[in-house]
Amino acid sequence: MKVIDHINQAKDKTIVSFEVLPPLKGKGIEALYRHLDPLMEFKPAFINVTYHRSEHVFKKRADGSFEKVVIRKRPGTESICAAIMNKYNVDTVPHLICGGFGINETEDALINLRYLGIDNVLVLRGDAAKNETAFEPEPGGHKYAIDLLKQVVNLNAGIYLEEDLKSTHKTEFCIGVAGYPEKHFEAPNMDTDLRYLKAKVDAGADYIVTQMFFDNAKYYAFVKACRAIGINVPIIPGLKPVYTKKQMNVLPKTFHIDLPTDLSNEMLKCKTDEEVEQVGTEWLLHQSKDLKKNGVPVLHYYTLGKPHVVANVVKEL
């Protein structure tokens, strides 16, 4: 079932969804199941699975020289979505990125997703590869998320890359896109970023999922600014718990977001990461209750690594 249908069916009720990472290459899927098991009692409407592009690394040879090799640390997004669907009978949303993909590979990936019975995709550009300073599309690949989105919209209309295909199957993907309450870090300003977000919605995105934020006021201001320029699709807040002191610097650096002073002050007072986790749980619960009270359609939790923290919060809701 499509994400948008889950939202419409829930009417004014707030539903929950979770996001997980594929296992590291070399690990089995069992650890992911152990991660998800305690979360399934909350009957998530859907589960997102992130996509991780391949990286170039330099491996030292026996003679001291270096060899450039391509590695992919977390493969398998599409098949993991299918496995989760089979095991838990829940809808899944694979993330699909432009980075590292040519348009033919993207089309094949989308065809595979349909064969697997997956109705949803979250389309993203992806970040620059580790060895690049700025995002570089594959030769002939997509430069922005909107270009990838248009390819999915075309497939939904039965338009494939091979123009002479006859009587083609129309896919029916529900399409999500990313939005940034604190602005995407490359955008010159919020207005420009919002204009590009509106272009994604006008091109066919069904809903928006936000980057994580820790200050609900920023989410409400973002929704208001979106509505003011005619973005009328559901805007799903992305939520993440803090649970280590290190995150005080890692989260702003990695995701280009701020931690509110009240939160960072509380984290600074903590002597151990267990205490930080307690602070993070309370903060997330407070955020979640407030968002629910204000009628958000979905609370989307980045569960990465800490399912019990998210479980404790959702239990309290």
Residues of this chain that bind ligand FAD (CB under 6 A): 50-51, 53, 95, 97, 124-127, 144-146, 178, 184, 186-187, 193, 196, 209, 211, 238
The two counts, helices (H) then strands (E), for the chain are 11, 10
DSSP code at position 54: -
For the CB of residue 141, give the shortest distance to ligand FAD in the complex, in Å: 12
Quote the tokens at residue 88. 């838990």
Contact 72, 25 (CB under 8 A): yes
- Rounded CA separation 231/235 (Å): 9
- Rounded CA separation 220/125 (Å): 25
Quote the tokens at residue 27. 């690990």
For the CB of residue 107, give the shortest distance to ligand FAD in the complex, in Å: 19
% helix, strand, coil for the chain, step of 5: 40, 20, 40
For the CB of residue 142, give the shortest distance to ligand FAD in the complex, in Å: 9
3-state class (DSSP) for residue 293: helix
Sign of CA dihedral 10, 12, 13, 18: positive
Distance of CA 182 to the CA centre of its chain: 16
Report residue 49: phi and psi, to 5°.
Answer: -125, 125
For the CB of residue 196, give the shortest distance to ligand FAD in the complex, in Å: 4
- At position 131, the amino acid (one-letter code) is N
For the CB of residue 95, give the shortest distance to ligand FAD in the complex, in Å: 3
For the CB of residue 235, give the shortest distance to ligand FAD in the complex, in Å: 11
Residue 169's contacts (CB-CB under 8 Å, 6 or more residues apart) are: 114, 158
Q: Which of 211, 149, 204 is nearest to 182 (CA)?
A: 211
For the CB of residue 278, give the shortest distance to ligand FAD in the complex, in Å: 26
Residue whose structure tokens are 């599309």: 137
Residue 309's contacts (CB-CB under 8 Å, 6 or more residues apart) are: 241, 243, 277, 280, 281, 284
For the CB of residue 121, give the shortest distance to ligand FAD in the complex, in Å: 11
Nearer to ligand FAD, 95 or 306 (CB): 95
